Structure 1
Amino acid sequence: MYHEIAEDIIRSIHEGLFTDKLPTEAELMTTYDVSRNTIRRAIDVVYQRGLLRRIQGSGYYVNKMPQPSKTVINLVAGAGASLHNSDNHLTSRVVTFDKIKADPELVQPMKLKPNSELYRVVRLRYLNQQLYCLEEAYYSTTAVPYLPVEAVNGSIFDFISENYDVHVTASEEYVSLAPLAHDQATVMGQQPGKEVLALDQTNFYGNGVAFNFSTTYFVYPGLRFYSYSFPVSHS
């Protein structure tokens, strides 16, 4: 049900019915005759498509996006979601899927205790069958106690949202040029040491609890990054 509502909201945005701000959750509940939880799940889908931004205490605003493009990485989405046209198709090939203990490099960004258990997912992602990126992602088993292979091959964030009611409430991103290590370059068919765009991202849910950290190495040509900021009131 919430997927259908999400698609209807997306269609309304594209058709210019929502140009600035979404109606309130209560108004959407009345429009679609569903529960608040269903509306929140639908909004989360739209948010992860990169079409909305959250402003605490004010609601959801429609992003004033550049022309739709498969080469735009939307940092506002909070989950590193790319802005793909409906004609584009993103697929995955899993390289590594296992459980590990958090090492010091993961303890810090995720604010974990040493040796905390994590799911590790390394996968190649393809856009219309062309290599898009290499994603190295880690998920806390405290927030995600079980992650099936089916989810790893599809949308992990959709699975987490649907099964554990974990939604991204904030994220931290760091963009850099990073040289590919030998094993990364080999699996991507690139030259070791080649510098590519890299996005480090930590995602939080609830009251600022980190549940996911990832580094994504992009090799798709012509990529750009989109973000949004608003003035902070100084009183």
Structure 2
Amino acid sequence: MAIKYKEIGNSIEENIISGVYEQSKKLPTEEELMREYKVSRNTIRKAISLLADRGYIYQVQGSGIFIRETSKEGYITLGNMRGLTGDFPSKKITTKLLELRVEEASEEIAEKMRCAEGTNLYFVKRLRFLDEENFAVEYSYYNKDIVPYLNNEIVEKSIYEYIRKDLKLNIGFADKIIYCDKLDEEHSELLCLDEGDPATIIEDTVFLTNGLIFDISKVIYNYKMAKMLSLASYK
């Protein structure tokens, strides 16, 4: 079962992104949110703290909870795991499945995923498009003990939405490594760039809220289109 304050935080986040609070530029008061979601003040405060950590809001003592005015459209937001659909809500996101298979975890992959060598994993290779332009090549491994079933239809849509809504798993947090490299022949062709062009690469290790690693991935982005955004606060 999902943690209640996270459910509420995600709900308010969706409202922020969809412009529900656009006119006021503020969230409802704690009391109003308590009535709306039928939870305690402590739960609402945890949800608000979560949104502040994600960079969506800031609080002014005596004045309320304000929506942070920053344009996220067109950026890959490093502080969340909403995927391309969440980062580019007004864009058309499409996926071409290049490879989907089950394989046994090698020693190297097993160490990264903290699972036993030989564990069955789904290997997924996808080409992602943003408004029909070649945007990223994605390689992922999913632990089949945690994600027991994937097919072409799921992979060509949103794997994380399927994990959250269909499998009812609670995605918790991720470790990200970001670096640059030069494109080889294969990836330059897939991204419609020249061999030797630069590429932005993000490697993710993604955990459930219980600390289990269910996914490791490597995404190679088209440098002409990929811009990263990190929302930070001074604490």
SS at match of 2:186: helix
1:126 aligned partner? 129
Say whether the 8 Å CA contact 2:199–2:223 is kept in structure 1: no
Change (3 A) 1:8 1:78: closer
Q: 165, 169, 178: which is aligned to 1:162?
A: 165
Q: 1:222 to 1:92 in 2, by over 3 A?
A: closer
Residue 228 of structure 1 corresponds to which residue in structure 2?
A: 231
Structure 1 counterpart of 2:115, which letter? L
Residue 217 of structure 2: aligned partner:
214
1:192: Cα distance to partner?
3.9
8 A Cα contact 2:13 2:51, kept in partner: no
* Alignment match, 2:70: 66
Deviation at 1:121, TM superposition (A): 1.0
Q: Secondary structure of 1:76's match?
A: coil
Q: Does 1:138 align with 2:141?
A: yes
Amino acid at match of 1:91: T
Over the matched positions of the two proteins, sequence identity in percent amounts to: 21
Residue correspondence of structure 1 range 60-99 to structure 2 within 5 A: 60-61=51-52, 63=56, 64=68, 66-70=70-74, 72-78=75-81, 80-81=83-84, 83-86=87-90, 88-99=91-102
Q: Helix, strand or coil for the counterpart of 1:138?
A: strand
Q: How far did 1:228 drift?
A: 3.2
Distance in 2, Cα, partners of 1:153 & 1:222: 21
Supply the distance in 1 between the matched residues of 2:203 and 2:151 (Cα, whole angstroms).
24
Partner of 1:41: none
User: Contact 1:144–1:160 (CA<8 Å) still a contact in 2?
Assistant: yes
**Displacement of 1:224:** 2.0
Alignment of 1:29 onto 2:37: yes
Question: Residues 191 and 220 (structure 1 numbering): CA distance in 2 closer, same or farther, change over 3 Å?
Answer: closer
Any conservation in 1 of the 2:198–2:223 contact (CA below 8 Å)? no
CA contact (8 A) 1:12 1:18 kept: no
CA distance in 2, matches of 1:23, 1:106: 45
Question: Take 2:217 and 2:26, find their aligned partners in 1: how far apart are those partners?
Answer: 32
Larger Rg: 2
Give the structure-1-normalised TM-score.
0.73
Moved more, 177-186 or 5-14: 5-14
Cα distance in 1, alignment partners of residues 141 and 96 from structure 2: 16
Q: Relative to 1, partners in 2 of residues 1:136 and 1:15: Cα closer, same or farther, differing over 3 Å?
A: same
Q: Give the letter for the 1:84 counterpart.
A: F
2:202 to 199, 203, 206: 199
The 1:85–1:58 alpha-carbon spacing in structure 2 relative to 1, beyond 3 Å, is closer
Normalised by the length of structure 2, the TM-score is 0.73
Seen in structure 2, the aligned counterparts of structure 1 residues 227 and 8 have a Cα distance that, compared at 3 Å, is closer
| Structure 1 pair 19–210 and aligned structure 2 pair: CA distance change class (3 A) | farther
What's the secondary structure of 1:143's corresponding residue? coil
